Amino acid sequence: MKRINHRIRLLSYSNIIAITGMLSALNLFIYITLQPNQLGLTTNSLMYAIMITPRNLYRLLIVIVIASGVMTLYQLITKKEWIVIQSFGVNAWGILRNVFLVHLMFVTIMAYIGETIAIDAELYAKRIRTHSVSHGAVNFNINNLWFKEKNDYIHVQSVTSPEELEGIDFFTVENDRLVAYKKAKYAVFLKNGEWELYDIKAMNLEKHENITTSDKANWHSGLHPSVLVAAVAAPTRMSLSKLYRALIHSKGFGILNDDTFMVFVTRIMTPLLALSSLAVSLLILVSRKIYLNIYQRLFIVTVLTIGVVIVQQPAFLVDQWINLSLNFLILFLGVYSIIYLRKKEA
């Protein structure tokens, strides 16, 4: 039994490595050959292609998982190993379980790489492409940022970095009337819930008092630098941990895009979608209730793979809720497939 399990897992490993290596080589070839003619093959162009590869591989995670899993089963079935293995008392679920466990480990590793290393590598690749000498991951250039906190409508003329603001205007409104106005030349983040304002001018419009000035003052605000990072950077180019912190600290300021939460949920679902798609594909290939030959089953799996990949493209479905609903449908089908294989094919 151990040798059979080892054989199935080794075949799965080899197919995953083969497909991942093939796609990596194709990625390098495309990015290097598409360089502008005047640049040619340089160290920078090669480094850019290498650094962008983890991101592209993670985007093709569903394709890699389905292709390697299907290839493993195809080799077992066409080489009659499937029948030989079952003759030793190993049922279909015992074979599929080994294939699924190997891909579960692969998806876990790829999810970590895709949500951490790939993000940083892509940012580094962008800096190489633009010949930037900055060590910052985001080019901060927000002008005229507006948000509301309690009774204050706050306008920031410019965000120079996640922890520095320039030209902050505070408009205090009570009962639909403007009662006070304050302006600070710049602000610096100190710690959670606290900023420090500098060069401040304040005016009480109800009492018609003279303008008061002060060198600096504390500003207690829920505005967090992570929210500013998310406001500038595309949510797809932030790590999940940074995106999570931005959502936690946003507190309804209205700074983040409405789709940010959807992007966060979709990215969490990506590894689960890969495993669910694999489970559905395995069910199609081995189910005894589908009266088709292996090649007809492979055609159905190919169409399924193309459909799942298309659904994941932002340009295909503008409505995020429809996209989310389809993703949950795929997850449901994946769970159903695993339960069905466990009970019916055991």
Does 244 fall in a domain? no
Asked whether the beta carbons of 301 and 285 are under 8 A apart, the reply is yes
Does 267 fall in a domain? yes
Does residue 190 sit in the same domain as residue 301? Answer: no
Confidence band, pLDDT 50/70/90 cuts, at residue 19: very high
Taken in order 56, 61, 67, 68, is the CA torsion positive or negative? Answer: positive
Does 239 fall in a domain? no
Instruction: Provide the residue range defining the domain that includes 42.
Output: 2-133+261-344
Q: What is the mean pLDDT of the chain?
A: 80
Domain boundary pick from 211, 232, 253 = 232
Does residue 265 sit in the same domain as residue 123? Answer: yes
Does 252 fall in a domain? no
pTM beyond cutoff 0.85 = no
The angle at the Cα of 92, spanning 89 to 97, to the nearest 5 degrees, equals 105
Reported as a single tens digit per residue, the pLDDT across 158-170 is: 887 778 888 899 9
Confidence band, pLDDT 50/70/90 cuts, at residue 194: confident
Edge-to-edge order in the sheet of strand 142-149: 142-149, 152-161, 164-174, 177-191, 194-204, 212-220
Confidence band, pLDDT 50/70/90 cuts, at residue 346: low
Reported as a single tens digit per residue, the pLDDT across 91-150 is: 888 888 899 999 999 999 999 998 888 887 877 776 666 543 333 344 445 667 777 788
Does 254 fall in a domain? no
Does residue 217 sit in the same domain as residue 273? Answer: no
Q: What is the pLDDT at residue 41?
A: 62
Does residue 269 sit in the same domain as residue 128? Answer: yes
Number of domains the chain contains = 2
Domain boundary pick from 232, 252, 287 = 232
Does residue 43 sit in the same domain as residue 82? Answer: yes
Does 309 fall in a domain? yes
Does 237 fall in a domain? no
Domain boundary pick from 184, 211, 232 = 232
Distance CA 92, CA 101 (A): 14
